[in-house]
Amino acid sequence: MTPAVLARGVRVVLSGNVILRGIDLSVNDGEVVALLGANGSGKSTLVRALVGAVPIESGEVELLGKPLGGAVDWSRIGYVPQRVSAATGVPTTAGEVVTSGLLHGHRLRPPRHARRLVLDALELVGLTHHLDRPVRELSGGQQQRVLIARALVRDPALLVLDEPVAGVDLPSQEAFATTLGALTARGRTVLVVLHELGAIAPLVQRAVVLRHGAVVHDGAPPTPAREHGDPDHDHVHPHDPDEAFADTGVAGLRWEP
Amino acid sequence: MIGDEIAGMLGDPLMQRALLAALLVGLAAPVIGTYLVQRRLSLLGDGIGHVALTGVALGWLVGNAMNLVPHDVLAVPGAIVTAIIGAVVIELVRERGRTSGDVALALLFYGGIAGGVLLISLAGGTNANLMAYLFGSISTVSTGDLWLTVILTAIILVVGIGLRTALFAVCHDEEFARAAGLPVRVLNITIAVVAALTVTVSMRVVGLLLVSALMIVPVAVAQLVASSFRQTMGIAMAIGVVVCVTGLSITYWRDLSPGATIVVIAIAVYAVVALARPLLVRSRSHDPHPQVPDDVEVAA
Ligand SMILES: Nc1ncnc2c1ncn2[C@@H]1O[C@H](COP(=O)(O)OP(=O)(O)O)[C@@H](O)[C@H]1O
Ligand SMILES: [Mg+2]
């Protein structure tokens, strides 16, 4: 069976700096893989390279069995970029942002039943009532969920998520884990960048850890070494990737809904 | 009587053509302006406008050399071609990185004006000949000019509104658009070319120096009251039409520059709406603190 994601020797150079030095990665159909590593280790750059958002200097990428480019069936791929905000210059509603997720490849206009699809996707992230609200009026966590809905709206077979629950409060994280669980139960493939496994931990089948733009671990997901149950825990994220394993306890304590 | 005065204005064929051109430009300019504001490229129109001046002078120079009558028949085609080339170059530079895009825009500003002035003097013209293009010359709109305006406006509206979701996607989040396999470069160049067409079509009405104002100010007003992208574009188009027609009408009775009058009215509208905004935007019926379970245990 062809893997959903296949990367061989992916090297990425951005403004003269080597960011990824030959990454090999494969994600099988129906698998849930977490991509871990410290800040700046290249997680976002890797997923950007995989979905064609940054150019690859050398190496190959295949998505759903097709080399990156026009041959890929983009309608079956959903991507959630790492973002603080879904808002931009002009007032935009949550519905409009999610509708843009219905376009892919050469489909440049939304389908006729777009509104129903958009409502369904917003329902998956619990934001049905915010369809016509400007995204800039939503909280950071709600904006993040709008971006998740934008990826889910085309019912993708492969989901690529870059820190989808960063800045999302714990109940919403759990709700997101439930949604993700339902998707994976239906055979969807997931590659998710995480800072901490958090609520998604039970779903993750395999973990790939990056350090300085190279894979240093590919196998069983790390188990939390210690719990950060202490409410004073101030969430300073480790810059030493070895500590990334230790820091997989409770997340998002500081976020308001 | 005011009624007679207005009937007189509407009965004047020169004024009829001018009003029609102003209406079309007011409708079209904010369409592309909405996309430019969305991607925070509000000054792109200015950059293209400056480049178009070189095009005007180039058209003049060629017309002169070929002994065409009048000498400036090629000025508008020259502006169109140069504006499109300039817009595509700006877009390709922007694609390569944000900082150099800013500098490239600055170079185009200065190069465009200096090139225009230099070429017009080579063509044996004076800077006074450029004034009509810099500040608008709507009172001299011919039937042929009007047809060109109609055609260009139709193109702008069909592309700008017909491809709205796709152009929105690429302006809203270019990275996501790439990851969806959308033809990002083609869409970006489409926006640049439509912006160039908008600049040249607006040139007659408000002049190259104020073209950008007509693209941006109505959008700035609409942003104050709209809650969606679609609404912003619609309101901006309505404001564009109203300020263009009103401004031009005023110049029928008072000897004022049409372009400057239109832009001043647009900015006045912005000021009034900004001040009246708290009254206009009724408080939205959303509870800012919905019932959501806490995610921390609070000691009772
Ligand atoms: N566009 C860019 N140009 C130059 N360097 C970049 C660019 N994007 C990211 N980097 C650098 O690449 C490294 C990895 O970044 P990133 O992939 O965002 O890491 P992570 O997602 O793991 O935190 C960082 O050192 C960052 O500064
Ligand atoms: Mg990142």
Query: pLDDT of A69-102, one tens digit each?
Result: 889 999 999 999 998 677 778 999 999 999 999 9
* Residue bearing the CA closest to ligand 1, atom 5: A14
Contact B181 A93 (CB under 8 A): no
Residue B98: its pLDDT value, please? Answer: 59
pLDDT band of residue B282 (cuts 50, 70, 90) is low
Q: How many CB atoms lie within 10 A of CB A79?
A: 27
Residue type, B244: C
- What is the separation of C-alpha B189 from the centre of its chain, rounded to a whole number of angstroms? 16
- Closest-approach residue (CA) in chain A for B225: A91
Query: Which residues contact residue B181 at a Cβ distance below 8 angstroms, ignoring those fewer than 6 apart?
Result: A52, A70, A72, A74, A77, A104, A105
Confidence (pLDDT) at B120? 85
| Ligand 1 centroid distance, CA of A40 (Å) | 6
Per-residue confidence band for A175, with pLDDT thresholds at 50, 70 and 90: confident
- Is A40 near ligand 1, meaning CB less than 6 Å away? yes
**CA-CA distance, A100 to B169, in Å (whole number)?**
5
> Does the domain spanning B2-277 belong to CATH 1.10.10.10?
no
Q: Which two tokens stand for residue A118?
A: 């958009």
pLDDT at B209: 86
Mean pLDDT of A100-107: 94
- The mean-pLDDT minimum among A72-76, A148-152, A175-179 falls in A175-179
The pLDDT of residue B21 = 93
Mean pLDDT, rounded, of chain B: 87
Mean pLDDT to the nearest integer, B248-258: 90
* CA-based nearest distance A216→chain B, Å: 26
**Hey, is B213 helix, strand or coil?**
helix
Interchain proximity B173–A90, CB inside 8 Å = no
Quick check: CB of A20 below 6 Å from ligand 1? no
- Whether B162 has a pLDDT exceeding 90, the answer reads yes
Do the interacting molecules here have an ipTM over 0.90?
Answer: no
B149, pLDDT greater than 70:
yes
pLDDT at position A250 is: 29
Domain ranges of chain B: 2-277
Q: Give the pLDDT of residue A63.
A: 96
Q: Which residue has the higher pLDDT, B23 or A2?
A: B23
**A47-58: pLDDT as tens digits:** 999 999 999 999
Select the more confidently predicted residue: A119 or B14: A119
**Residue-level pLDDT at B41:** 84
Q: At what angle do helices B258-280 and B229-253 cross, to 10 degrees?
A: 130
Q: Which residue has the tokens 């997720």?
A: A101
